[in-house]
Amino acid sequence: MTVETTGAAQRIAESTTARASDYMALLKPRVMSLVVFTGFAGMVVAPGTLHPLLTIVAVLCIAISAGAAGAINMWYERDIDALMERTRNRPIPAGRIAPNKALAFGITLNILPVLTMGLLLNWVAAALLAAAAGFYIFVYTIWLKRRTPQNIVIGGAAGAVPPMIGWAAVTGSITLDSIVLFLIIFMWTPPHFWALALYREGDYAKAGVPMLPVVAGPAETRRQILIYTALLVPLTFVPVFLGTAGLVYGAVAAIVGAYLAWLAVQIMRTKTDRASKRMFGFSILYLFVLFAALIAENVAT
């Protein structure tokens, strides 16, 4: 094999790898991972059991559907993504994937997991999966995000549905227990994203996205973060009273909740980007730890 042939083969391999990684980036894997984790938690805490193979199928359906909705979100928002420092290197604005290919990719991947969930598990879980994707695409991405500072508050419902999907995959039903898990993520979403928006305010303003700091100002945003955090922390104890979780989870919720509340107070007191970044970073860990405690406690018992 000549040096030229070897070099050509290497370039083809590198091109294929880059193309695969770009399509993977369309699925927003970091966001997807948290969605999958909370969906899996819903399956673990639900009464009843699933065959291990069906559990894997359900997890994959949740993952693929969430990723596909993210791909359509990137397709629709490619114009504002190109203006924002945080998103301008995404595959579509960077020119690595054509918009029409990204849209076709997202639509195809949205249909398959819903059908699979319905045929192999149940249609309640499939309907919730379809509703979450549809809400994220049509209500949040297309309708709310560019029109109202309440985009995250209302649109956050899409990202809060996975525990209900997981619960329904096992039980075929929607119950108060699963609704409470939904509400925890729903109340967590605004302070999580507003903390990010505080130190990325210039990016959102440049792109014309009416995030709360841009429209109402940083002071009001900090106040809203504190309010939502104050509502969120007590809500996380409701699973204990419902019997969905036990005292171990309750202790964990108390510890991480106290620290999250302290960070929210620090945002109000210090008014610095550092405080906002700490709140944003810890809020991800906070949700992960809460649902990890739910899983661990239910697996142990």
Q: What's the alpha-carbon Rg for the chain, to the nearest Å?
A: 20
Average pLDDT over residues 42-54: 94
Q: What is the pLDDT of residue 212?
A: 94
| Nearest-angstrom CA–CA distance, 215 and 90 | 26
By C-alpha distance, which of 49, 62, 267 is closest to 170?
49
pLDDT above 90 as % of the chain:
80
Q: Which pLDDT score, from 0 to 100, does residue 32 have?
A: 83
Residue 183 has pLDDT above 80, yes or no: yes
Q: Rounded to whole angstroms, what are the CA distances from 216 to 11, 28, 139, 277?
A: 50, 29, 22, 20
The 3-state secondary structure of the chain reads CCHHHHHHHHHHHHHHHHHHHHHHHHCCHHHHHHHHHHHHHHHHHCCCCCCHHHHHHHHHHHHHHHHHHHHHHHHHCHHHHCCCCCCCCCCCCCCCCCHHHHHHHHHHHHHHHHHHHHHHCCHHHHHHHHHHHHHHHHHHHHHHCCCCCCHHHHHHHHHHCHHHHHHHHHHCCCCHHHHHHHHHHHHHHHHHHHHHHHHCHHHHHHHCCCCHHHHCCHHHHHHHHHHHHHHHHHHCCHHHHHCCCCHHHHHHHHHHHHHHHHHHHHHHHHCCHHHHHHHHHHHHHHHHHHHHHHHHHHHHC
Measured distance CA(99)–CA(76) in Å, rounded: 9
Whole-number pLDDT of residue 14: 38
Tokens of 279: 């709140």
Reply yes or no on whether the pLDDT at 11 is more than 80: no
17 pLDDT exceeds 70? no
Among the listed residues 255, 254, 232, the one whose alpha carbon sits nearest the alpha carbon of residue 181 = 232
Asked if residue 170 has pLDDT above 50, the reply is yes
pLDDT attached to residue 4: 41
What residue ranges define each of the domains in the chain, with the CATH number in brackets? 18-173 (1.10.357.140), 175-301 (1.20.120.1780)
Over residues 208-231, the mean pLDDT reads 95
151, pLDDT greater than 80: yes
Note the pLDDT of residue 285.
96
Give residue-wise pLDDT tens across range 233-243: 999 999 999 99
Mean pLDDT of 44-67: 94
10: confidence class by pLDDT, cuts 50, 70, 90 = very low
> What is the average pLDDT value for the chain, to the nearest integer?
91
Size of the chain in residues:
301
The pLDDT of residue 3: 39
Task: Evaluate whether 290 touches 253 at the Cβ level (below 8 Å).
Answer: yes
pLDDT over 80 at 64, yes or no: yes
